């Protein structure tokens, strides 16, 4: 499952443009972790392979600096590009049209986290039955401009309806899509392990404060699953976060 010591309550996905360019992404990643993000995913569908490798490496270094400075553990995930995840010893997340779960697992090995996107009960079931997926990103909850090819919005009730079976199957479930701090009261009782955001942190003038606000609101508004009802315990993590 997720690495030992990693809190999935707040999951941040980078957006190079919203962060202010590739040179700014590592700074935003550092600040997001400082504000409470336990998982960070590096995503850039437009970067070529060399540029993405450099970006992922810089983000890995930013996460390590944050861990050392703040005494906390965070996981860095690569979106889709399993070769980069394999090369850098990172976790990986795939969409329904990306590399298969089996390919992702072979690339990163048994000790890394493999996540997958899901927007239907069938996709959640397939992830659970794969024996490969550790985490499922359920959404979009609301329409979002950062992913124009996303499925129809699930809404809060749709998120809750998929999160329950996902967690019952042992998957870590995070909600994604249009999530902002002011919308978290609408997700009360969603029963997810975490919330996943892009623009709410990437476009913020103060990413650390934004992350802190989001995580606190997710807890205060009762969005997260009750303590003690979490998905099965994590495997221990190796050298790379």
- Residue 145 labeled ligand binder: yes
206 is in an annotated binding site: no
User: Does 198 belong to an annotated binding site?
Assistant: yes
The answer to whether 147 is a known ligand-binding residue is yes
Residue 38 annotated as lining a ligand binding site? no
Q: Is 149 annotated as a binding residue?
A: no
Distance, CA of 168 to CA of 151 (rounded, Å): 24
Q: Is 80 annotated as a binding residue?
A: yes
117 is annotated as contributing to ligand binding: yes
**Binding residue positions:** 41-45, 79-80, 98, 117, 144-147, 178, 198-199
**Binding residue positions for Mg(2+):** 80, 98
């Amino acid at each position: 499952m997720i690495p030992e010591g990693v809190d999935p309550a707040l999951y941040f996905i980078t957006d190079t443009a919203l962060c202010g360019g590739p040179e700014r992404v590592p700074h935003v990643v550092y600040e997001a972790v400082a504000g409470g993000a336990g998982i960070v995913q590096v995503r850039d569908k437009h970067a070529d392979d060399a540029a993405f490798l450099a970006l992922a490496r810089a983000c890995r270094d930013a996460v390590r600096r944050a861990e050392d400075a703040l005494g906390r553990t965070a996981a860095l995930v690569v979106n889709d590009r399993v070769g980069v995840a394999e090369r850098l010893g990172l976790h990986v997340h795939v969409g329904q049209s990306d590399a298969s779960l089996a390919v992702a697992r072979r690339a990163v090995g048994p000790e890394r986290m493999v996540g997958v996107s899901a927007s239907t009960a069938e996709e959640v079931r397939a992830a659970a039955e794969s024996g490969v997926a550790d985490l499922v990103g359920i959404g979009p909850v609301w329409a979002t401009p950062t992913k124009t090819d996303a499925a129809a919005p699930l809404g809060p009730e749709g998120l809750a309806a998929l999160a329950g079976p996902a967690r019952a199957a042992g998957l870590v479930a995070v909600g994604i899509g249009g999530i902002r701090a002011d919308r978290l009261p609408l997700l009360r009782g969603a029963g997810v392990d975490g919330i996943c955001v892009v623009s709410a942190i990437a476009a913020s003038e103060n990413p650390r404060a934004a992350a802190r606000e989001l995580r606190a609101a997710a807890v205060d508004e009762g969005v997260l699953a009750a303590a003690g009802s979490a998905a099965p315990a994590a495997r221990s993590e190796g050298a790379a976060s």
